[in-house]
């Protein structure tokens, strides 16, 4: 099983109330949390700006099968 490990940092920023309202609507409609929506939007924006980011991947475990 390949797992993706990411180190997440807590970040504080200000956001306009109408944007928060939009995030809440998507959460209620689609079940995607606000923080996940923000992460996806930032990732999309960075890609559009030509910035490639990838999460660190772990190496597959070398288990011995019985």
Cα within 13 Å of Cα(50), Cβ side? 0
3-state SS class at 18: helix
Q: Note if the pTM is more than 0.85.
A: no
Given this model, what pLDDT does residue 38 score?
97
Reported confidence tier of residue 64, pLDDT bands at 50, 70, 90: low
Q: How does 28-45 read in b/e, with b if 16+ C-beta sit within 10 Å? A: eeeeeeeeebeeeeeeee
pLDDT of residue 65: 62
Are 23 and 16 in contact, with CB atoms under 8 Å apart?
no
CA 5, 61, 1: angle at the middle one, nearest 5?
Answer: 65
Round to whole Å and give the CA distance between 36 and 39: 5
Q: What is the pLDDT of residues 13-39, one digit of tens each?
A: 999 999 999 999 999 999 999 999 999
Domain range annotation of the chain: 17-48
């Amino acid at each position: 099983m390949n797992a993706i490990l990411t180190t997440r940092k807590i970040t504080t920023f200000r956001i306009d109330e109408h944007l928060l309202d939009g995030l809440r609507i998507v959460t209620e409609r689609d079940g995607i949390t606000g923080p996940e929506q923000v992460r996806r939007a930032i990732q999309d924006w960075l890609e559009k700006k030509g910035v490639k980011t990838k999460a660190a991947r772990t190496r597959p475990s070398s288990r011995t099968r019985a």
